[in-house]
Amino acid sequence: MTNGIDKKALFKLKSEPYLKPISDLGVGFYNLDENTAILSFQLSNTKGPLLIHKNNLTAYAYFESSNGSVSDVIELEVEDSNKGLVTITLDKDFLQASTSTKVKGQVYIGVNNVDNKPEYNEVAVFREFSFEVKDALINKISSFTKMEYIRMFDQLKTRIKQRVLDIEEAIANGEDYVAEMKSVLQKGIETLNQIVSDGKQDIQSYIKEAKSTLDTIKNDAVNTIEKLSKDTKSSVDSKVNKVVETIESTSSEATEHIDDKMSEFKQTVEDNDLITNELLDEQFDNLDWQKYELTNDDGTIKIMNLESNVEKLNKMTETGFFYTTNTPDLPSDVSSDGFLIVYARKGNSPIKHVYQPYSQNKIVVRNYYNEWSEWQKISQTQSDTGWVPFKIINGGRMNTAYGYGGDRNGYGCSYRAITNGSVTQKFVRVNADNVEHSQVIAQLPSNFAKSPQVGFIRAPLIHNGTSLIVENDGTVKVFIANEPEWEKSNNKYIYGTVSWIE
């Protein structure tokens, strides 16, 4: 590992013909280790380290958990060909399947027979070894799948928090602009009010002055008329015409003065660039801030009844958060009432709908790019029957070998089915004696195996190769290797696990 957090254990294996007890490596890994659980083996013989190179030899390893989980036959990586060092990184799926168990393993090396001639075939099997796989503490509070969801939603929470901070910052900047505009508007209003007030005072002053002048002239005229009342009519008419002309001239001058003041007031507004309602609206529209409403004013999301109409659903092409009822065209096992998130890029496409029913832990999505796709599930259903015990029939005894119920903790006769999405893995364990060759030893539920399944199991050494067959009608038969040496007795046992994937 380039980060230096790998956990590497070194074990020395010697190619020799002597049977020895299974070697406990004294090491352990955890079921959450990923690409860090590494086993290194130094392969040697009586002369020293084996010279291993991919051109002449290939090394493999196979692992089997005490709970029946097994690995693939895995090719080992040559680390140092001169020192016989090979390594393997344990697969995380196998570690998870082997939680809280002891795992046995064995290493094999074979000569690369490029000519494919049987006489050149050479394979060496090294002695067995074992190590433990423990359950990580974090799994005490949730399953592995739940932990992955916790990680996913924690990352989503971080992203949403960052988005909220960005939005709040944008809104804060927008509020600064609004405050500044309000300040300018208030100053403009105050200036306008002052100009209007000054204009009114000037107008009232000129009107009062004009009225006073008119009153004075009127009084003078009346006095003149009274004084000259006895004069000739022509003289009176002449005086009257003169007074009328004076009044008209004074009134015209007052009107012109008022018009000049109003023009001056309008020019003052234009010259000082005072804010109008239209200009204020335009400057608000030009501010750079989030103007699209994702939720209601109180923070709740919008509720929409789609009435099982796919056309209404297809028209939801703008980004937002919604609670929809009668959502159309969902898979049959998905509730039609739930939360819908719409993601839309600039333009007409692409668009993504992410839907999650309110009462189910399921997520379905659909996309638009030129046309809408069907709803697709992105969550998987998991189930596990656990180990279901079964009985040995036709005279056999059950759970008699490998210290069942004792210190060795041998397992008993049982079967199990684990479903993960569309993949189902099945297991059958047997622990019995007092059985015969080709005997039906158990009856499982019909169709537990969709097709016949065969696997090798443990028996006394002279009967290595004994096998078990599980038929699709549920019957379980045992076929004894080296059957002539076999006898139906309490000393002849069978023990092992058969597993397959459907």
Instruction: Write the DSSP string, 227-265.
Output: HTTTS-HHHHHHHHHHHHHHHHHHHHHHHHHHHHHHHHH
Question: By CB neighbour count within 10 A (0-12 exposed, 13-18 middle, 19+ buried), where does 496 fall?
Answer: buried
Question: By CB neighbour count within 10 A (0-12 exposed, 13-18 middle, 19+ buried), where does 76 fall?
Answer: buried
Model confidence at 468, pLDDT cuts 50, 70, 90, reads: very high
Greatest mean pLDDT range, 165-169, 277-281, 303-307: 303-307
Tell me the residue length of the chain: 502
Residue 51: pLDDT over 60:
yes
pLDDT over 90 percentage in the chain: 44
Instruction: Specify the pLDDT at position 274.
Output: 54
HSE-up (13 A, CA, CB side) for residue 309 = 8
Lowest average pLDDT, out of 222-236, 322-336, 337-351, 479-493, goes to 222-236
Higher pLDDT, residue 211 or 398: 398
Question: By CB neighbour count within 10 A (0-12 exposed, 13-18 middle, 19+ buried), where does 31 fall?
Answer: buried
Higher pLDDT, residue 8 or 428: 428
Average pLDDT value for residue range 225-247: 65
Alpha carbons 64 and 22: distance in angstroms, whole number: 13
Q: Residue 430's beta-bridge partner residues? A: 496
Alpha carbons 183 and 191: distance in angstroms, whole number: 12
The listed CATH number (1.20.5.440, 3.40.120.10, 2.60.40.3350, 1.10.10.10) that belongs to domain 7-137: 2.60.40.3350
Average pLDDT value for residue range 292-299: 80
Same CATH fold assignment for domains 7-137 and 383-501: yes
Cα Dmax for the chain: 173
Instruction: Specify the pLDDT at position 285.
Output: 64
Model confidence at 395, pLDDT cuts 50, 70, 90, reads: very high
Average pLDDT value for residue range 389-396: 97
Mean pLDDT of the chain: 84
**Lookup result for tokens 């919604």:** 322
Distances (CA, A) of 44 to 15, 48, 193, 358, 444: 6, 5, 103, 62, 47
CA triplet 426, 427, 433: central angle to 5 degrees? 155
- 353 and 316 Cβ atoms separated by less than 8 Å: yes
Residue 38: pLDDT over 80:
yes
Question: By CB neighbour count within 10 A (0-12 exposed, 13-18 middle, 19+ buried), where does 407 fall?
Answer: exposed
At 97-108, the pLDDT tens digits run 999 999 999 999
Q: What is the second-level CATH architecture of the domain 383-501?
A: Sandwich (2.60)
Distances (CA, A) of 88 to 14, 32, 40, 58, 82: 18, 17, 7, 13, 18
Instruction: Specify the pLDDT at position 451.
Output: 96
- 220 and 250 Cβ atoms separated by less than 8 Å: no
Lowest average pLDDT, out of 97-101, 147-151, 316-320, 457-461, goes to 147-151
Instruction: Specify the pLDDT at position 380.
Output: 64
Alpha carbons 79 and 41: distance in angstroms, whole number: 10
Residue 275: pLDDT over 60:
no
| Exposure string over 367-387, b if 16+ CB within 10 A, otherwise e | ebeeeeeebeeeeeeeeeeee
Instruction: Specify the pLDDT at position 217.
Output: 82
Distances (CA, A) of 159 to 153, 300, 362: 10, 20, 21
HSE-up (13 A, CA, CB side) for residue 108 = 12
Lowest average pLDDT, out of 18-32, 40-54, 134-148, 477-491, goes to 134-148
| pTM: predicted TM-score of the whole model, two decimal places | 0.32
* Residue 53: closest CA among 80, 89, 88, 87: 80
Residue 251: pLDDT over 60:
no
Instruction: Specify the pLDDT at position 218.
Output: 77
Lowest average pLDDT, out of 44-48, 83-87, 262-266, 427-431, goes to 262-266
**What does the domain layout of the chain look like in residue ranges?**
7-137, 146-285, 302-377, 383-501
φ, ψ at 373 (rounded to 5°): -90, 170
